[in-house]
Structure 1
Amino acid sequence: MPAESRELRNWLASGALAVKRARSRLDAINVFPVPDSDTGTNLYLTLQEGNRAVAKLPASASHREVVAAFARGALLGARGNSGVIVSQYLAAFLTHVDKAGGLSNAKPVSIATALQEASDAAYRAVGAPVGGTILSVAEAASRGAADAVAIKADRNAVIVAAVVSARTALRSTSDELPAARAAGVVDAGAAGLVLQLEMLAETLAGASVLEGLDDVEWELASTGKGVVAVPVHHEHRDAGGAYEVMFVTPAPERSAHATVAADHELTAALAALGDSVAVTASHGLVHAHVHTNAPDQAVEEGIARRARQILVSTIALGHARDSHDVRDGTGMVALTSCPGLAAPLADAGAIVLVVPDPTRLKRRELRRAVREASAEGVVIAAGNEQLYGAAQELAGRKGAGRVVALQTQHEAHVIAAVAAGAMATPGEPLAEVMREAVERCEVARSSP
């Protein structure tokens, strides 16, 4: 393995592992922008997808090839608002570091500049930036690094200074963000970014470099001691929109100016439909995220831009998974070519993958929908024979997990299956309930 990419791979892997270990705690303190208890999960899955892309490269891959693979993988796999922002942050940081000779060779000023560019990219990704969040930590880390460069600190001191400033900003998120202050926690997304910076410092300067420095409690009681239980205000779960819509589109042109203009246009269009808008661009792709009460319109915005991987779910579904209110540990995935069905299918508890052109469905997109639905098992209902074929192929693959593809050929079958699944009672085998509904559903066909 080239020395130039060894440290980079180590950092990316350790960053994902740090979030994996803290996943449940990050989920527990997630109260902004909505208390859907999934920030840790979203961050981990985003980073995991980036690292999976890197793992497919040969050991001889160059620093630039690793950067490109991780950035593209993380963007395609980005989950939720936090995942989209962090994928853009890391892509911008890595791109600048690569231009500066690689992580191993980057000078102090290059590290500081990369942190600044990453912070700027994170801000650009958000439709309505809010203080006391991941953006505040990104900006503070950049400022801390720049101050260290100004006094001619070496590279290790620069990244440590960035971590110290990031930790200070993380503690302040509890005071700056009303939702975090009310819950007595720091911002979950901000905490996730601090973990990435801490792993960067340990990768570059050694595992003990942060020992002796002040850490930050994530859960804060009035006594200043850590607490375990964090109140989640479920009554506000749909304050900015009851549905989450995510999609990936090709960048319209190669020029950076055209891409930025397109990002602004899409951001404005989604902001008119809801909030928690995040739009990022990297390696020829644009990833969009929004919480909205008009999911059909958000889907249409994606289709108008030749979107793929259009995922629709309800914010409430995250709460159901968190409370283990998923029938026999099994989730539902609905594949449909009808945008208008996205909302009702999501309301019934399915992860909905809208596929305008079934011939273009990629296995990666279907696998993502399956992982979104449940880690334990999934039943897939598909709206036409082509989509059913894709579901059947995935279900038959070794290592796919407990995936059942219902034998469906029509959108009516999807509606019947998901509706039956929504009505299933605890203890009933979800796959059997949904299969029986499909078998009882008769579809009228017109004569030739």
Structure 2
Amino acid sequence: MSADAGVLRRWLAASVAALAQERAHLDAINVFPIADSDTGTNMWLTLADGLQLVADLPADADDDRVCRAFARGALLGARGNSGVVVSQYLSGFLEAVTAGGGPSRLDGAALARCFAAASAAAYNALAAPVEGTMITVAAEAARAAGDAASADAKPADVALAAAGAAREAVGRTAQQLEAARQAGVVDAGALGLSLILDAMVEVLVGAEALASLPERVEPAAVRDGERPRVHHEHRGGGIYEVMFVSGNTDPDGSTADDAPGAGWGELAAQLAAIGDSVAVTGIRGLVQAHVHTDHPDDAVEIADTLGSSQILVRNIVAAHERPAHLPGVVALTRSPGIAAALSDTGAVVVVIPSLAGLTQRELLRAVRDASGTKVVVVSGDPELRAAASRIAEGSADPEVEVLRVQHEAQMVAAVAASALAGEDEDLADVMTAAAEACVPATSTGDALDEDVDRLLTPDTELVTLILPEGMPTSVADAVRLSATAVCPRAEVQVFEGRHTQAGIFIGVERSA
């Protein structure tokens, strides 16, 4: 690529800058796999997380360490389907760079092999690849790079050929991808990848070389700034997005072996059985998975079975419809069974099976996913809340407020109230008031009815039970009978929380 040892850092930084500049446009034309207005943001944040690990390296770190750090950071920080796929594309590219002896030793043929490896990696990350998307652009870029290399082209010429083919391929996605054709746009992920390859040309050849590339064609209305015909609604598949990481999540990852590819296929098949937009990727003992599903509990259970330390759940529709005036909400819980219900309010939910799973990277990632300005973090687990408070200290962008909630049932009440906050109300105050109005308790299966009886009054409106792992839902039958006798209008809601801590979490809410 270049004799300059800093070329990789400059290319990656230029890619992040290009995505940051165009992310609003990419978000606006995002229609596939669903129109949730986040492809540009997801790709930008994914690469930014990779670049952050590179920035943490010493200035004299060799190219191999730069490649490993970026690939690991991007995979840990991957957002959405587009983030997972682009992280795998770049991981495949960078692994091929190091296999070829580093950027200073790559000739045109070796650089073409990097494009081919990246294209294959992106394609293999998807359980059901769809043409007219990022993978199509990746394949066209690899083909053009190979053709150029066969003519003994220099690395700069190979990069120009790949970037030019990518630009032309982006224009064709407006007809290849049905969702894009109906909306009158090109595929957002495809355009994002083309910007990354443009950044390579800018670094290798110079910004002036971009003028020699074919014009990137978008439908006229979009190119002229008219709002795309995008209807931000759910198009089939699942309304819940579940992402999780398993394996060695240490940022360095230097002690981990390569993740077994055979295991990825089995995991992808499990996720494909319960949803779509499945992407599974991994490097050096680390696996990142993504699925859209209507069965979020099943997806979380799969993640939990793998020993995942980070499980993120989001209701795509609720998150998109959440009023713009409200700050974002991040809910941290050790009860995987309540994640879907919490996300139905528009909150970003992070399931943390063990305290060690709550890292600064994971919390800040959830915070950025929830809002770009202000976020309220809530957890009913005292240890998670304390850890979140330590991590959030000093965070100014976005502003983070951690609520002092004492119990899991109070967290459920607070998150439910967050969806009802008015435009003139302070969200943190609304959530705190709801938590304080919930009378909490913890019980066992044998003592549950007696413990709830002591809390019930005629003005009770809602009884919440969160059951631990292995506790049958039938334990709630006696509670329902008691509620019918004491407070017949009260609702009894039961969650199979599946937490491993001892005890049934109880919450009782009364009329004001």
Fold shared, TM-score > 0.5 on shorter chain: yes
TM-score range, shorter chain: over 0.9
* Partner secondary structure for residue 277 of structure 2: strand
Instruction: Write the mapping of 1:69-218 to structure 2, written as runs, cut at 5 A.
Output: 69-218=69-218
Instruction: State the distance in 1 between where 2:296 and 2:9 align.
Output: 38
Instruction: State the distance in 2 between where 1:181 and 1:162 align.
Output: 24
User: Are 2:372 and 2:397, in contact at CA under 8 Å, matched by a contact in 1?
Assistant: no
- Letter paired with 1:247: F
Instruction: Write the mapping of 1:3-14 to structure 2, written as runs, cut at 5 A.
Output: 4-14=4-14
* Partner secondary structure for residue 84 of structure 1: helix
1:331 aligns with 2:332: no
Higher helix share: 1
* Partner secondary structure for residue 49 of structure 1: helix
- Letter paired with 1:333: V
1:350 aligns with 2:347: yes
Q: Deviations over 1:423-442 (max 9, x none)?
A: 11112110110011111111
Instruction: Write the mapping of 1:52-71 to structure 2, written as runs, cut at 5 A.
Output: 52-71=52-71
Instruction: State the distance in 2 between where 1:72 and 1:23 align.
Output: 22
1:106 CA drift (Å) = 1.1
TM-score of the two chains, using structure 2 as the length reference:
0.82
User: Are 2:3 and 2:105, in contact at CA under 8 Å, matched by a contact in 1?
Assistant: no
1:363 aligns with 2:364: no
Residue aligning to 1:278: 279
Instruction: State the distance in 1 between where 2:397 and 2:432 align.
Output: 20
Residue aligning to 2:420: 423
- Letter paired with 1:130: V
1:227 CA drift (Å) = 4.4
TM-score of the two chains, using structure 1 as the length reference:
0.94
Instruction: State the distance in 2 between where 1:186 and 1:318 align.
Output: 24
RMSD: 2.1
User: Are 1:38 and 1:318, in contact at CA under 8 Å, matched by a contact in 2?
Assistant: no
User: Are 2:168 and 2:217, in contact at CA under 8 Å, matched by a contact in 1?
Assistant: no
Higher strand share: 2
1:229 aligns with 2:227: yes
Residue aligning to 1:38: 38
From the superposition, tell whether residues 318 and 23 of structure 1 become closer, same or farther in structure 2 (CA, over 3 Å).
Answer: farther
Structure 2, unmatched stretches of 5+, are 250-254, 444-450, 452-502, 504-512
1:283 CA drift (Å) = 2.5
- Where relative contact order (Cα < 8 A, 6+ residues apart) is larger, the structure is 1
1:215 CA drift (Å) = 1.4
* Partner secondary structure for residue 290 of structure 1: strand
User: Are 1:273 and 1:298, in contact at CA under 8 Å, matched by a contact in 2?
Assistant: yes
User: Are 2:279 and 2:291, in contact at CA under 8 Å, matched by a contact in 1?
Assistant: yes
User: Are 2:371 and 2:398, in contact at CA under 8 Å, matched by a contact in 1?
Assistant: no
Instruction: State the distance in 1 between where 2:413 and 2:5 align.
Output: 51
Q: Which has the larger radius of gyration?
A: 2
Q: Bigger shift: 60-69 or 388-397?
A: 388-397
Residue aligning to 2:393: 396
Q: Deviations over 1:39-67 (max 9, x none)?
A: 00000000110111111111111111111
Q: Deviations over 1:304-362 (max 9, x none)?
A: 111122100111245236xxx2344x111111111110111000111000111234322
Instruction: State the distance in 2 between where 1:203 and 1:225 align.
Output: 26
1:204 CA drift (Å) = 1.1
* Partner secondary structure for residue 104 of structure 1: helix
Instruction: State the distance in 1 between where 2:403 and 2:248 align.
Output: 35
User: Are 1:20 and 1:44, in contact at CA under 8 Å, matched by a contact in 2?
Assistant: yes
Residue aligning to 1:374: 371
User: Are 2:319 and 2:346, in contact at CA under 8 Å, matched by a contact in 1?
Assistant: no
Instruction: State the distance in 2 between where 1:379 and 1:417 align.
Output: 11
Structure 1, unmatched stretches of 5+, are none
* Partner secondary structure for residue 297 of structure 2: helix
* Partner secondary structure for residue 198 of structure 1: helix
- Letter paired with 2:236: A
1:167 CA drift (Å) = 1.3
User: Are 1:217 and 1:226, in contact at CA under 8 Å, matched by a contact in 2?
Assistant: no
1:444 aligns with 2:445: no
Q: Deviations over 1:249-269 (max 9, x none)?
A: 11799775x711110011000
Percent identity reads 49
1:248 aligns with 2:241: no
Residue aligning to 1:410: 407
From the superposition, tell whether residues 36 and 360 of structure 1 become closer, same or farther in structure 2 (CA, over 3 Å).
Answer: closer
- Letter paired with 1:105: R
* Partner secondary structure for residue 214 of structure 1: coil
